[in-house]
Amino acid sequence: MSKQDRITPRTLKGFRDYPPELALPRERIIETARHVYRSFGYAPIDTPALEYLEILTGKGSEETDKQLYRFTDHGSREVGMRFDLTVPLARFAAQYAQQLGLPFKRYHIASVWRGENPQKGRYREFMQADFDTVGSTGVASDIETVVVLHTLLRACGFERFAIRINHRGVLDGVLDKAGLAGRSAPVLRALDKLAKIGPEKVAEDLKQTAEASATQIDAVLQFASLTGENATLLAEIQRLVAGNATGEAGLERLRETLTGVAASQIDPGGEAAVRIDPAIARGLDYYTGLVLETLLTDLPGIGSVASGGRYDNLAGLYTSQSLPGIGASLGVDRLLAAMEELGQTGAARTPADVLIVYFAEDRLADYLRLSATLRAQGIATELYPEPKKLAKQLQYADKRGFRVALIAGPDELARDECQLKHLATSEAISTPLADVVTTVRRLLDSI
RNA sequence: GUGGCUGUAGCUCAGCUGGUUAGAGCGCCGGAUUGUGAUUCCGGAGGUCGGGGGUUCGAGACCCCUCAGCCACCCCA
């Protein structure tokens, strides 16, 4: 093939490749999410990447409709690629409601697609790790959602983050009292931008998109600009929603949620990580109760890495059965981008801990036996594939991020021993072959 | 989708108002060191200047188109 005919290897805008040093921490996030979700009793499901177009359109917001990847398949069906995992859950729950039984708790870790312009932490193909409880309206599920997110972020190695929570009922109450009840969608959308663009621009926005009066704008901004400790906020909000049933109910729910979170003892240091934020509204139309977003303290600009909320009737478009639920979604690839930016991805390019040096060509059987012994005890072990010179193999071990090199040349083998070299400190110790597993394990534990 | 900035070696970047054979640091390969990597010394390889077209005696630089990244709008994970 001539040079001109050759196809340039490249990836589509907004789509990315994951080399080992990225795929390794990415898989770690996925495994952590899976582990945390399962520990709370959520069961895995999976659904197709492609759905009938009618399943997907008109569900998230008009924006998601615009971003939908859609096409006609080979059988002339109008189809679309899922843009989140919540809509497929709604379809799934409606379709199998009879067999599933309620409440139904599921997690779903999979890729979704949105045709929007990419930025850092914002891709056209990205993975979400969702967990939801369908069929329960109790506050316990609200509490659990916050607790799961907190546990998950901690398990991913984050200490500095804030789960910001709010309640749509409170928002509705405030809007109702201000006489803006019918215009909640544009108002909430404007509110959502408060932290980013400031009160003046939000006011302008409210005036234009929601045709709000000066008094109305004032009422909304006064609410959204509230800051302080959760207890203070609860009291302030109480004042603002007083006399409005929806608002008071929402506030009470928010209070119960915070009390429950405290009882869950996820945050022994206090309430710092879970905070009421009156400006959190969420653009998605289907939320009706608790709404939440998670921001990383050291990288707020990348946006929410995990968010969600309560929806009272997600499956209403597919079934007459009422299927309320609550859940949240971890943005796996956004969190990964944040970790990259913060230098938290690590440098390892191998999942194995031990590299066995292929030292003497005629001792391959010994090396294979040693490899098998270590692996049988759960120690990930790679045997170098060729009897190249020692320096080469050690260099390889170092570059890939192995922690221990096992060296067994003719001298060591003659004494039924091997050498274990700790790559980071360059310390080497000798150990009898019979003890190799315990010694390696001790070495790895000490690192 | 709209607008702005950017795109030079594997990586980070330099390259003055267009002027000979496009540079640096790091990395990579080889050797000093045929049983010990990451340090030191010596040598070496590596560039369609994102891609295509145009202006010009001459383009990495200027113009147009295109692809990609980043940022903003919008929206969100």
Protein-covered nucleotides of chain B (CB closer than 7 Å) are 1-3, 28, 33-38, 48, 67-77
**What pLDDT score does A1 carry?**
46
**Å between A337 CA and B64 C1'?**
35
**What pLDDT score does A82 carry?**
95
What is the mean predicted confidence (pLDDT) over A164-193? 86
Digit-coded pLDDT (tens) for A107-133: 999 999 999 999 989 999 999 999 999
pLDDT of A299 higher than 70: yes
**Buried b or exposed e, range A235-262, using 16+ CB within 10 angstroms:** ebbeebbeebebbbbbbbbbbebbebbe
What is the mean predicted confidence (pLDDT) over A310-334? 90
Bridging pattern class, strands A125-134 and A104-113:
antiparallel
Phi, psi of A418 (to 5 degrees): -150, 165
How far is the C-alpha of A322 from the C-alpha of A133, rounded, in Å?
Answer: 14
What is the band of A161 on the pLDDT scale with cuts at 50, 70, 90? very high
Q: State ipTM.
A: 0.88
pLDDT of A413 higher than 80: yes
Sheet with A50-52, side-by-side order of all strands: A50-52, A78-81, A70-72
More confident site: A182 or A272: A182
How confident is the prediction for chain A on average, in pLDDT?
90
- Residue A114 annotated as part of some ligand binding site: yes
**Å between A288 CA and B58 C1'?**
68
Torsion sign across C-alpha atoms A86, A88, A91, A97: negative
- Residue A374 annotated as part of some ligand binding site: no
**Å between A9 CA and B46 C1'?**
20
**What pLDDT score does A426 carry?**
85
Bridging pattern class, strands A354-356 and A325-331:
unpaired
More confident site: A404 or A341: A404
**CA neighbor of A88 nearest in space, from A315, A289, A320:** A315
Q: Which nucleotide is nearest to A396 (CA to C1')?
A: B37
Q: In angstroms, how far is the first alpha carbon of chain A from the final one? A: 51
How far is the C-alpha of A55 from the C-alpha of A82, rounded, in Å?
Answer: 9
Q: Which nucleotide is nearest to A392 (CA to C1')?
A: B37
What is the mean predicted confidence (pLDDT) over A355-380? 95
**Å between A97 CA and B23 C1'?**
68
**What pLDDT score does A61 carry?**
66
CATH superfamily entry for domain A354-446: Anticodon-binding domain (3.40.50.800)
- Choose the CATH number for A20-341 among 3.40.47.10, 3.30.930.10, 3.40.309.10, 3.40.50.2300: 3.30.930.10
Q: Which nucleotide is nearest to A393 (CA to C1')?
A: B37
What is the mean predicted confidence (pLDDT) over A196-221? 83
Q: Which nucleotide is nearest to A402 (CA to C1')?
A: B37
Stretch(es) of chain A classified as CATH 3.30.930.10:
20-341
- Token pair 């192995």 in the structure block, residue: A402
- Residue A398 annotated as part of some ligand binding site: no
Digit-coded pLDDT (tens) for A137-152: 999 999 999 999 999 9
Q: Which nucleotide is nearest to A189 (CA to C1')?
A: B75
**Å between A119 CA and B5 C1'?**
14
DSSP readout, A335-371?
HHHHHHHTT-S-S---S-SEEE----GGGHHHHHHHH
**CA neighbor of A400 nearest in space, from A336, A352, A337:** A352
What is the band of A279 on the pLDDT scale with cuts at 50, 70, 90? confident
How far is the C-alpha of A104 from the C-alpha of A325, rounded, in Å?
Answer: 9
User: Using an 8 Å Cβ cutoff, are A390 and A359 in contact?
Assistant: yes
What is the mean predicted confidence (pLDDT) over A288-312? 92
At A273 the three-state DSSP class reads: coil
**Alpha carbon A10 to chain centroid distance?**
27
Sheet with A381-383, side-by-side order of all strands: A381-383, A354-356, A404-407, A417-422, A427-432
**What pLDDT score does A3 carry?**
47
What is the band of A6 on the pLDDT scale with cuts at 50, 70, 90? low
- Residue A192 annotated as part of some ligand binding site: no
pLDDT of A60 higher than 70: no
What is the mean predicted confidence (pLDDT) over A173-197? 82
**What pLDDT score does A383 carry?**
94
How far is the C-alpha of A86 from the C-alpha of A313, rounded, in Å?
Answer: 12
Residues 6+ apart with CB under 8 A from A156: A28, A29, A32, A335
- Residue A132 annotated as part of some ligand binding site: yes
* % residues pLDDT > 70 (chain A): 96
How far is the C-alpha of A305 from the C-alpha of A127, rounded, in Å?
Answer: 11
pLDDT of A272 higher than 70: no
pLDDT of A269 higher than 60: no
- Residue A128 annotated as part of some ligand binding site: yes
Q: Dihedral (C-alpha) A172, A174, A176, A178: value to the nearest 10 degrees?
A: -150
DSSP readout, A15-48?
-----HHHHHHHHHHHHHHHHHHHHTT-EE----
Query: DSSP letter at A122?
Result: B
Stretch(es) of chain A classified as CATH 3.40.50.800:
354-446
**Å between A13 CA and B63 C1'?**
26
More confident site: A51 or A225: A51
